Amino acid sequence: MDWRLKALAFHALDVPGGAAVHHFLQRYVTRTWPRPSARLDSTIAIAQRAIELYTKHAGTTPASVIEIGAGRDLAVPLALRKQGVAEVTSIDLDRLASLDLIAHAARHILGSDDIAKSWNEIEQFGIHYRAPCSTVPDAIADCTCSNEVLEHVPVDQLPSLLQGLRKATRYLTIHSIDYSDHYARSDSNLSRFNFLRYSDAQWSRYNSRFQFVNRLRHSDYLSLFLEAGFTIVEASTTPGIVPGALDIDARFAPYTCDDLFTLNGVIVAKPN
């Protein structure tokens, strides 16, 4: 599907009731949900990687985790519990999760959906779903984390979010960030860095709430974490292929080539 048509469709859904229509299309047209086994396996690997990073720097498995961006099936919290985390609090701006999707994920990740018969059972299992929730909870966890969430947060909201994470983090905060153009996931003709061609004003025409990305680069996030009161413990990136004929907008002129054409990154930080 041409990415511009997809952007137009997203904007058309940006009306009252659009979120419900969007979810209906994901479940029954594009069949994005429930997640297939391969995507759930990827989620398990993400949770394992977070635990490995935490253990590497803290020496033990975290007893408690606060996750930013719960999603629809709580797959990351389920995988974290499977990895031995006793309590996971997962928050989201909107209440997107549903029991049937959680049960589907639980069958794959845990081998049983017994914990997903009701919200009370999920709570008793040690997963605390808090949505809608626009701020980091007034609680402290050993670890805070997110997976491909920070790139969807508006730039002006990131400082307060990171400051909230600093207050909520006892030891480490761990974040995986996707720096690529998300429209390239469904348009094979598109460069993973196509969105760097556009000014902020131009990009706003394609940037709806259903596919919002802030286009920040890895260096921006490192600066934001430092400004929020963190010390960077570990940071890594995956380089992408530099497109041969892509005119970069002047807004991105100050960045190095390596910074611009980074596909994704991981940031591990500790509160000062």
Q: How far is CA 173 from CA 55, 62, 74, 103, 209, in A?
A: 12, 11, 19, 28, 26
> Distance (Å, rounded) from C-alpha 125 to C-alpha 173?
23
Q: 228 or 138: whose pLDDT is higher?
A: 228
pLDDT at residue 22 tops 90 = no
- For residues 66 and 174, the answer to whether their CB atoms sit within 8 Å is no
User: Where are the extended beta strands (E) located within 22-168?
Assistant: 64-68, 87-91, 127-130, 141-147
Average pLDDT over every residue of 142-159: 96
Whether residue 211 is contained in a domain is answered as: no
Whether residue 130 is contained in a domain is answered as: yes
The residue among 94, 226, 92, 91 whose CA lies nearest residue 162 is 226
Which pLDDT band holds residue 11 (cuts at 50, 70, 90)? low
pTM of the model: 0.91
Whether residue 22 is contained in a domain is answered as: no
pLDDT at residue 53 tops 70 = yes
Whether residue 21 is contained in a domain is answered as: no
Q: What pLDDT is attached to residue 6?
A: 65
Whether residue 190 is contained in a domain is answered as: no
Q: What pLDDT is attached to residue 57?
A: 97
- Give CA torsion, residues 105, 41, 232, 150, to 10 deg: -50
Q: What pLDDT is attached to residue 247?
A: 87
Domain of residue 220, CATH code: 3.40.50.150
Count of domains forming the chain:
1
Q: What pLDDT is attached to residue 107?
A: 96
Average pLDDT over every residue of 105-132: 96
pLDDT at residue 143 tops 60 = yes
Q: Which domain holds residue 249?
A: 33-179+216-271
Bridge partner residues of 10 (DSSP)? none
- For residues 126 and 86, the answer to whether their CB atoms sit within 8 Å is yes
Q: What is the pLDDT of residues 76-106, one digit of tens each?
A: 999 999 999 999 999 999 999 999 999 999 9
pLDDT at residue 16 tops 90 = no
pLDDT at residue 14 tops 70 = no
Q: What is the pLDDT of residues 157-211, one digit of tens each?
A: 999 999 999 999 999 999 999 999 988 887 888 889 999 999 999 999 898 777 8
Whether residue 18 is contained in a domain is answered as: no
pLDDT at residue 71 tops 80 = yes
What average pLDDT is seen over the chain? 90
Whether residue 95 is contained in a domain is answered as: yes
- For residues 239 and 261, the answer to whether their CB atoms sit within 8 Å is yes
Return the structure tokens found at 211: 């596919």
Return the structure tokens found at 171: 């030891």
pLDDT at residue 23 tops 60 = no
Whether residue 201 is contained in a domain is answered as: no
89 half-sphere exposure, CB direction, 13 A CA radius: 19
pLDDT at residue 13 tops 80 = no
pLDDT at residue 27 tops 90 = no
